[in-house]
Structure 1
Amino acid sequence: MRRDESPFLLFPGAGSIGQAVTAVSDFYTAITEVAVHGRWDVDLSASAVEVLRKCFADQPSGLIVDLHDLSDPQGASAPLWSTARSWGERRRPPVPVVVCLPSAAPLAAVLRRRGARWFLPIYATVPEARAALIASAAHPERLTIHLAPDPDALAEVPAVIDYACASWNLPELVQPATAVLAELVANAIDHARSRIDVAVSRRRAGLHLTVHDRSPDIPPAPRYVAGDPGDPARQGLGLGLVHSLADAWGALPTRTGKLVWATVSTPPATGKTATAEPSIE
């Protein structure tokens, strides 16, 4: 990422009194759940767009939007949820988006009138939505390991990256992916001091790296030192190195802690133009 780009850090839900947009991810299913609370207005809409943007950046296997606690009797939020489905479809690979709310809710009636039932699945409960996404999800190429919060565990990082890159014919990513994953694991060892779950997944022409620990503390964005951009020790928690090597990185809360992720991709072939991920702006 460029130095002037911000990581996709999603802190536990905050907002004005009675209003919030919260998100939790799940390491094992890779499904992210977004819940919208309070009366729908311009501020809540802006918060929802920002949270969705950060959730899509992580490329989840599916996204559930829970609207049970949203007060929107006029259905003013309906266009955003339909648009979110389109955002997910344009991701590569696509991210299926589903909505949860009572069938008798005014918003549900508005969505039905807009024809959402044909392209935006609506479920009465989050467990129903989660089960449907799990049943229909594609199974990406994914390696997982579980580590103890011990510095010796860092020795396992090169092995899993070597195996992934050899299996998926990505030899040019061995060095940057090893460096990024080692920093994420070291950060979890130093600060979470809990069991660490690691996943390495194939993503188009690159790798998606995930580190899950039991600490709820979302890491801060790295603070660069003017005139000394290459010294990770002076950039805070080693995340400056992650920022410089990864195409994107971020963090999401989970029900048992947090998940920190990063993507590392191969550069486009000479004479070819890289295809950017669709924007949700």
Structure 2
Amino acid sequence: MRRDQPPFLLSRPDHPGMSGGQVVTVVGDFDTGLVEAAVSGRWDAGLKTTAAGLLRACLVGEPAGVLVDLQGLADPGGASAALWAAARLWGARTPAVPVVVCLPPAAPLAGVLARRDTGWDLPVYASVPEARAALTAGTARLERLVLHLEPDGSVLSLVAEMLGEACTDWGLLPLYRPACAVLTELVANAIEHAGTSIDVAVTRRRAGLHLAVQDGDRRFPRGPGDVRGDPGDPARRGYGLRLVHAATAAWGALPTRTGKIVWGTLAIAEATADRPRQPAARPLAAPRHGSRR
């Protein structure tokens, strides 16, 4: 990432443009790779700005899909329709991220989105479970390797081994070293600061790799700009996040229902990447401190 670009830390900060009753939240799901955003309250310019920024940040993280829950949105005139349609177009860019909306069928906004003359073609579902099921059906096609680990430093070698297998099988060996540095740093941070069980996922993306580390601690990492001290001293706390910032195309964090996910993406030119292959069926030996799925 650019040195002046902050990480995408999607907590729930205060938004000065929003009034009482307006809420924008986001939650990630490690197992499916989906992100669910909920927008509620009276629709106005402040809520539009906040929701648009949140959706763009969600899409930067290249989730398997984005579900936008609008059941609590007060928009009788359908003025927000253009934003949700735009979000679908943002998600359609490479790498493609499907975007769907959840709305009661009787809501005026649902009628606006369903109009054929708009050409928006935005999938609208009546309930969150229905929308989630539609998106989840598409995630089954993802090329993804997962590790379930205990918070012990000995598991870092398993992380490196899984990543090496992924990069070899997917023709992405040029990404192995930077990706290994990033992923082991994120796992080491989870071991040190969260101290909970840890889930690690490496997912093939058209442009490269998506790395994700989930733990049970709701506290977010600090941005590399928040760390004081001499950046030339690798022993100081926070130095590793500077490495993550420098090595990734983008990185950030988002809350889950039980903690958080910290993610990073690494890109490689398509001309450099070999044709992707299905992961070879050679599972790791069952480790003492982790399990593989």
Q: TM-score, structure 2 length as denominator?
A: 0.85
User: How far apart, CA to CA, are the structure 1 residues paired with 2:12 and 2:157?
Assistant: 32
User: How far apart, CA to CA, are the structure 1 residues paired with 2:242 and 2:225?
Assistant: 7
1:210 counterpart residue number = 212
Aligned positions of 1:111-260 closer than 5 A: 111-113=113-115, 115=117, 119-137=121-139, 139-223=141-225, 229=231, 231-234=233-236, 236=238, 238-260=240-262
1:6 aligns with 2:6: yes
Displacement of 1:170: 1.8
Displacement of 1:109: 1.9
1:90 counterpart residue number = 93
**Deviation per residue, 1:198-249 (Å, 9 max, x gap):** 0011112421110011111121111277995554544626211100111110
Specify whether residues 203 and 136 from structure 1 end up closer, same or farther in structure 2 by C-alpha distance, changes over 3 A only: closer
State the AA in 1 paired with 2:258.
Answer: T
Specify whether residues 13 and 225 from structure 1 end up closer, same or farther in structure 2 by C-alpha distance, changes over 3 A only: closer
User: How far apart, CA to CA, are the structure 2 residues paired with 1:267 and 1:235?
Assistant: 33
User: How far apart, CA to CA, are the structure 2 residues paired with 1:125 and 1:251?
Assistant: 26
Whether the 8 Å contact between 1:148 and 1:196 is mirrored in structure 2 is yes
Whether the 8 Å contact between 1:149 and 1:195 is mirrored in structure 2 is yes
% identical aligned pairs:
58
Whether the 8 Å contact between 2:229 and 2:236 is mirrored in structure 1 is no
Whether the 8 Å contact between 1:205 and 1:265 is mirrored in structure 2 is yes
Whether the 8 Å contact between 2:231 and 2:239 is mirrored in structure 1 is no
Greater Cα offset, 163-172 or 218-227? 218-227
Specify whether residues 116 and 30 from structure 1 end up closer, same or farther in structure 2 by C-alpha distance, changes over 3 A only: farther
1:74 aligns with 2:77: yes
Whether the 8 Å contact between 1:194 and 1:213 is mirrored in structure 2 is yes
User: How far apart, CA to CA, are the structure 1 residues paired with 2:270 and 2:170?
Assistant: 17
Greater Cα offset, 31-40 or 83-92? 83-92
Whether the 8 Å contact between 1:13 and 1:21 is mirrored in structure 2 is no
User: How far apart, CA to CA, are the structure 2 residues paired with 1:191 and 1:227?
Assistant: 20
1:24 aligns with 2:27: yes
1:277 counterpart residue number = none
Whether the 8 Å contact between 2:35 and 2:67 is mirrored in structure 1 is yes
Displacement of 1:126: 0.3
Specify whether residues 22 and 232 from structure 1 end up closer, same or farther in structure 2 by C-alpha distance, changes over 3 A only: farther
User: How far apart, CA to CA, are the structure 1 residues paired with 2:25 and 2:106?
Assistant: 24
Specify whether residues 96 and 160 from structure 1 end up closer, same or farther in structure 2 by C-alpha distance, changes over 3 A only: same
User: How far apart, CA to CA, are the structure 2 residues paired with 1:114 and 1:85?
Assistant: 16
Displacement of 1:99: 0.7
Displacement of 1:135: 2.2
Whether the 8 Å contact between 1:225 and 1:234 is mirrored in structure 2 is no
**Deviation per residue, 1:118-177 (Å, 9 max, x gap):** 711111110010111122446121110011011222221211111111111222222111
State the AA in 1 paired with 2:196.
Answer: S
Please state whether the residue corresponding to 2:133 is helix, strand or coil: helix
1:44 aligns with 2:47: yes
Greater Cα offset, 53-62 or 200-209? 200-209
State the AA in 2 paired with 1:236.
Answer: G
Q: TM-score, structure 1 length as denominator?
A: 0.88
How many pairs align?
269
State the AA in 2 paired with 1:174.
Answer: Y
Gaps of 5+ in 1: 271-281
User: How far apart, CA to CA, are the structure 2 residues paired with 1:100 and 1:167?
Assistant: 37
**Deviation per residue, 1:90-115 (Å, 9 max, x gap):** 231x1111111111112112222365
Whether the 8 Å contact between 1:21 and 1:37 is mirrored in structure 2 is yes
Please state whether the residue corresponding to 2:212 is helix, strand or coil: strand
User: How far apart, CA to CA, are the structure 2 residues paired with 1:76 and 1:49?
Assistant: 14
Gaps of 5+ in 2: 273-293
2:66 counterpart residue number = 63
User: How far apart, CA to CA, are the structure 1 residues paired with 2:250 and 2:24?
Assistant: 22
Specify whether residues 269 and 123 from structure 1 end up closer, same or farther in structure 2 by C-alpha distance, changes over 3 A only: closer
State the AA in 2 paired with 1:151.
Answer: G
